[in-house]
Structure 1
Amino acid sequence: MADLITAGRAMSRRHLLAVGGALPLLGACARAGLGGGFPAQTVRVSAPFAMPDIAVPDFRGARPFPITTYGASPDDQARTSAAIRMAIAAAHDAGGGMVVVPQGVWPTGPIHLASNVNLHLERGATLLFSDDPHDYLPAVQTSWEGIECFNYSPLVYAFGCDNVAITGPGALVSKLDGWKPWYARPKPHMDALIALYTMARQGVPVAERQMAVGQNNLRPHFIQFNRCTRVLVEDVTIHGSPFWTLHPLLCRDVVIRRIKVRAHGHNNDGVDPEMSQNVLIEDCEFDQGDDAISVKSGRDMDAWRLATPARNIVVRNCRILNGHQLMAVGSELSGGIENVFVDNCHFIGDGKGADGWAVPIDNLLFVKTNERRGGHVRNIHMTNVTATRLRGSVLAVETDVLYQWRTLLPTYVRRLTPIDGLHVANVRVAEAKSVCTIRGEREQPVRNVSLRNVTVEQLSGPAITTDNVEGFRRDG
């Protein structure tokens, strides 16, 4: 492990030299004041808390920059990748614009967005992303399960951008053959996780946490918006993902609407808003190998350093075909999670799935943490939800969720998570193990839980199980 940490520090100096060609694009995103006068649309959202208006970019009058103008070829990944880079740079330099992907299948490597740029996929357009890890180097600043690091670039990446969008009726598709062997977690991968956690614990600068080396095999996200403001993702279809599918990290003002996600691989969450604020996810369809939506706020020491809660997140009018949870809260929640509202969402899967493939949904609302996380969870609401069958509960809270970390590392710092205000109303489920299962900590009980008009037609276990809960109420 010490060798991995030393190698990462040494590599950071080489990395700064290697990424010289990429710096102008990232610098373009980060320039202060660039997006201040860009046209915006305001989205107003009703919620059982004071939900701020959300401002997102308005590209309806934007100038088009077709990738074919810059030499994109359906038969040449290198030419198409270069054309997309040039079109993004041209749109950004012009003060804003739409990078247009026309009908056809366009092979590409990673796409790095810039401020005031909309990546627009026309009907019948498919961006087909390489599965060669070498295409996603040099490494960029990203994260792995709540810990910041430099890793393989997300397939679509925006860092420090204002007014950035992905829209249109086309599709983004990830080839997966090169990533699937990385789903396994052999010893070198586990050693890399230990090394990364240790670097975060020791306060090693993020630039020195170089993880895109050797057999670390930390898979990249499909789409990551990192430290962006005014983000819009609308109408696109996303197929497959090496890791989490759509990850707004440390973002503000995000709207994700009318997207369809079908990703059946390992850790294939649909949307993971992490340490992001003022987020609307609506009218989407999720067909996932993991959670449909999982709100997060970082892991342990890194999140305490960043000190940014996930806040003001509304999910409404969504359908879930497959996935472990409809809404997960955590387990990376050390920065705190507050003001989350799920309304009029429906799990419609039959437990069999298309072509015999299915992930049985575990819970509708699942709050998960452990003794290392700290942070807080408060003011979480779920209303007007239906489901066919659950393997678990309508509402579940587990305070001892550690997964592989239980044996990887000891508890260096013990911080329990205050959980206060979980409210579920107007829910109907055909089959479930229970209505509610809450396992709180004796030293830090879960507080203020209400269930109103929550019905499960067929139960296979006790309706209500509560350990260490104060202020529990069930009506109807």
Structure 2
Amino acid sequence: MAVGENNLRPHLIHFNRCKNVMLDGFQIRESPFWTIHLYMCDGGITRNLDVRAHGHNNDGIDLEMSRNFLVEDCTFDQGDDAVVIKAGRNRDAWRLNTPCENIVIRNCRILKGHTLLGIGSEMSGGIRNIYMHDCVAPQSVTRLFFLKTNHRRGGFIENIYMKNVQAKSVQNVFEIDTDVLYQWKDLVPTYEERITRIEGIYMEQVSCESADAVYELKGDARLPIRKVQLKNIRVDHVKKFGKKAAHVEQLTEKNVVFRLDQKQ
């Protein structure tokens, strides 16, 4: 991957432009970077995996510009995001013009991770038709459901569903952030500005024992987030705040229940 002192860390398992991929019934420990990366693949099943990696950037599984995948009955214990949907970065992804789409994640256990389900932040080719259901986070994750982009990404995020999920401890149950640039914010200038369209985000039947916040939605005023629906969400203890939303249109709630700690 590199010479001298660059020390670039490779993905452990990387499929590039493959079809009909089957990953079934094995264990992975301490990959050097992303653990499983499915890049521009068409069709596949990932099941019965036991994945643990707690180094830097140790995502569990990254599906990038791939389509028609099922991820089921897996356990993820990660130092970064657990299940991640991506679609390339900026100009390179605009050139490839390949959305990540039609992916189901079900019956998985996420022991630790920065997110249970992360969308982005590399998503310039577009992400749509993602459905996570019947998953659990019995210990702790930072964010349960996190959509992230910035003003350089462009692309779109649409038709994303999370249903029937139980968690113990999280910071934010649900978050959308349209200004995630990490270290690149000051290192690299903005050469071309494109705003991400975010529309049709659904969260239903989710319970959590404790959280810092129920949701925080930070849209972009130039292209607000649209059609966000939250239904039957319960958080037993909220430590910081319940709900914040900026630049969001058609935000609907039904039976969103939480108890804010009295000391707040």
1:250 aligns with 2:30: no
Q: Using the alignment, how far apart are the partners of 1:469 and 1:215 within structure 2? A: 45
- Equivalent residue number for residue 384 of structure 1: 164
Counterparts of 1:215 and 1:301, CA distance in 2? 29
What count of residue pairs does the alignment treat as equivalent? 255
Matches within 5 A, 1:49-448: 152=1, 212-349=2-139, 351=140, 361-391=141-171, 393-448=172-227
- Per the TM alignment, residue 243 of structure 1 is displaced from its structure 2 partner at its CA by 0.4
User: How much has 1:389 moved relative to structure 2?
Assistant: 0.6
Letter in 2 for 1:377: I
- Measured on the aligned residues, the alpha-carbon RMSD in Å equals 0.8
CA distance in 2, matches of 1:394, 1:254: 29
Name the CA distance, whole Å, in 2 between partners of 1:434 and 1:282: 28
How is 1:1-20 mapped onto 2 (pairs within 5 angstroms)? none
Q: Which amino acid letter does the alignment assign opposite residue 314 of structure 1? A: V
Q: Distance in 2 between matches of 1:341 and 1:217?
A: 36
Counterpart amino acid of residue 22 in structure 2: L
Name the residue aligned to 1:472.
251
Aligned equivalents of 2:220, 2:6: Cα separation in 1: 34
**Separation of aligned partners in 1, 2:3 and 2:208:** 46
Distance 2:102 2:8 in 1: 30
Could you tell me how far apart the structure 2 residues matched to 1:367 and 1:373 are?
A: 13
Task: Give 1:309's aligned amino acid.
Answer: P
Provide the residue aligned with 1:105 in structure 2: none
Deviations 1:153-172 (A, max 9, x none): xxxxxxxxxxxxxxxxxxxx
Cα distance in structure 1, aligned partners of 2:62 and 2:138:
21
Between Structure 1 and Structure 2, the one with more helix by share is 1
Deviations 1:65-103 (A, max 9, x none): xxxxxxxxxxxxxxxxxxxxxxxxxxxxxxxxxxxxxxx
- For normalisation by structure 1, the TM-score amounts to 0.53
Out of 448, 452, 458, which is 2:237 matched to? Answer: 458
3-state SS, counterpart of residue 407 of structure 1: helix
Cα displacement string for residues 410-434 of structure 1 (whole angstroms, at most 9, x for unaligned residues):
0000001000011000000000112
Task: Give percent identity, aligned residues only.
Answer: 49
CA distance in 2, matches of 1:336, 1:459: 33
SS at 1:301 equivalent? helix
Report the AA paired with residue 233 of structure 2. Answer: V
Letter in 1 for 2:170: L
Residue 390 of structure 1 deviates from its aligned partner by 0.5
Alpha-carbon deviations, 1:186-223, whole Å to 9, x = none?
A: xxxxxxxxxxxxxxxxxxxxxxxxxx344333210000
| Separation of aligned partners in 2, 1:215 and 1:300 | 28
Question: Whose strand proportion is higher, 1 or 2?
Answer: 2
> Which whole-Å CA distance do the structure 1 matches of 2:243 and 2:189 have between them?
33
CA distance in 2, matches of 1:471, 1:219: 42
* Letter of the structure 2 residue corresponding to residue 306 of structure 1: L
Report the 3-state secondary structure (helix = DSSP H, G, I; strand = E; otherwise coil) of the residue aligned with 1:461. Answer: strand
One-letter code aligned to 1:418: R
Give unpaired runs (5+ residues) of structure 1. 1-151, 153-211, 352-360
Question: Within 2, Cα distance between the matches of 1:455 and 1:338?
Answer: 26
Question: Who is 1:118 aligned against?
Answer: none
- Give distance in 1, aligned partners of 2:156 and 2:6: 31
For 1:431 and 1:462, the matched residues in 2 are separated by 12
Q: Which has the larger radius of gyration?
A: 1
Could you tell me how far 1:395 is from its partner in structure 2? 1.2
The one-letter code of the counterpart of 1:274 is: E
C-alpha deviation, 1:464, in angstroms: 1.3
The corresponding residue for 1:52 is none
Hey, what's the Cα distance between the residues in 2 that align with 1:247 and 1:422?
24
